[in-house]
């Protein structure tokens, strides 16, 4: 049975049940990784905590990290409820999702490929792990990690066949037009040239990382391939 990692943005968490069920019906083990971007930003603004992004990744202070965790737990519960009793909610820093520190962004990490035993056990028992993307650092403790990057790291570590980025945009747009497929070398070159902005940057970066390690990557209707 092949493994598929399904990455959901905070705005599209409600599609979790339908997509996860369809993949399981097709015979796949499914791991869900979710974001909570809109919820985090809204709560930070309410509390008067600055909201800042660099390259699509959130600058995270200690105060912001507490909000990030709370928002992730809220979305995780919502996604698990949508999927139903087969869902198992997991938090990345509690199950051994590891990351290198990105000091310029505060308490932010670059996640490393890993196969946490809690995820493997849930899959072996026939459940759907639903993962909130926090990671652990041996010296700093918990770090915020971008959900796209966390999904790619888990896809590689778990030996997944595919990673699907479910998003509220149709896919990768080049000069305003949707592209059905983009080679990783072209994607790298365009990312380096600053051809993309905002949330598509970490998605495409994560898709490239996964594709280079042999995982089929799709962002909406766009395939990212080696």
DSSP 20-40: HHHHHHTT-EEEEEE--HHHH
| pLDDT higher than threshold 90 for residue 122 | yes
Question: Would you say domain 3-39+69-90+117-134+145-225 falls under CATH 3.40.190.10?
Answer: no
> If you average pLDDT over residues 106-127, what whole number do you get?
97
Cα-based distances in Å from 194 to 19, 63, 120, 197, 224: 32, 31, 37, 7, 18
The pLDDT value recorded for residue 13 is 62
Residue among 142, 147, 155 at smallest CA distance from 30 = 155
- The tens digit of pLDDT for each residue in 146-195 reads 999 999 999 999 999 999 998 878 899 988 899 999 999 999 999 999 99
Domain ranges of the chain: 3-39+69-90+117-134+145-225
Contacts of 18 (CB under 8 A, 6+ apart): none
The pLDDT value recorded for residue 226 is 80
| pLDDT higher than threshold 80 for residue 15 | no
In the structure, what pLDDT confidence band is assigned to residue 1 with cuts at 50, 70 and 90?
A: low
Question: 93 or 13: which carries more pLDDT confidence?
Answer: 93
- The tens digit of pLDDT for each residue in 41-73 reads 999 999 999 999 988 889 999 999 999 999 999
For 47, other C-beta atoms within 10 Å of its C-beta total 11
Q: Which residues pair with 182 in a beta bridge?
A: 224
The pLDDT value recorded for residue 31 is 97
Strands 162-166 and 216-219 come out as parallel
Q: How far apart are CA 96 and CA 114, in angstroms?
A: 8
- The tens digit of pLDDT for each residue in 197-219 reads 888 898 999 999 999 999 999 99
Q: Which tokens belong to 185?
A: 């070398």
> If you average pLDDT over residues 126-132, what whole number do you get?
96
State the angle between helix axes of 147-157 and 200-212 in degrees (0 to 180), rounded to the nearest 10: 10
Q: How far apart are CA 57 and CA 52, in angstroms?
A: 8
Percentage of the chain exceeding pLDDT 90:
81
Residue among 47, 34, 76 at smallest CA distance from 167 = 34
| pLDDT higher than threshold 70 for residue 221 | yes
Determine the number of helices (DSSP H) and then strands (DSSP E) in the chain. 8, 16
For 19, other C-beta atoms within 10 Å of its C-beta total 18
- 106 CB burial (10 A radius; 0-12, 13-18, 19+): middle
The pLDDT value recorded for residue 131 is 97
Radius of gyration in angstroms for the set of CA atoms belonging to the chain, rounded to a whole number: 16
């Amino acid at each position: 049975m092949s493994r598929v990692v399904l990455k959901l943005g905070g705005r599209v968490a409600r599609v979790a049940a339908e997509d996860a069920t369809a993949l399981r019906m097709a015979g796949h083990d499914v791991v869900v990784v979710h974001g909570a971007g809109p919820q985090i930003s809204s709560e930070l603004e309410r509390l008067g905590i600055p909201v800042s992004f660099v390259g699509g990744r959130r600058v995270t202070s200690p105060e912001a990290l507490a909000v990030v965790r709370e928002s992730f737990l809220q979305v995780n519960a919502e996604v698990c409820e949508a999927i139903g009793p087969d869902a198992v909610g997991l938090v990345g820093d509690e199950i051994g999702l590891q990351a290198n520190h990105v000091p310029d962004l505060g308490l932010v990490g670059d996640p490393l490929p890993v196969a946490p035993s809690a995820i493997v056990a849930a899959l072996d028992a026939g459940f759907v792990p639903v993962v909130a993307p926090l990671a652990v650092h041996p010296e700093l403790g918990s770090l915020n990690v971008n959900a796209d990057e966390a999904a790619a790291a888990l896809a590689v570590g778990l030996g997944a066949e595919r990673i699907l980025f479910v998003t509220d945009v149709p896919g990768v747009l080049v000069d305003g037009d949707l592209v059905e497929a983009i080679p990783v070398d072209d994607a790298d070159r365009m990312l380096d040239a600053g051809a993309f902005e905002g949330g598509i940057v970490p998605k495409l970066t994560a898709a490239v990382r996964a594709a280079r390690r042999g995982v089929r990557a799709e962002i909406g209707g766009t395939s990212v391939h080696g």
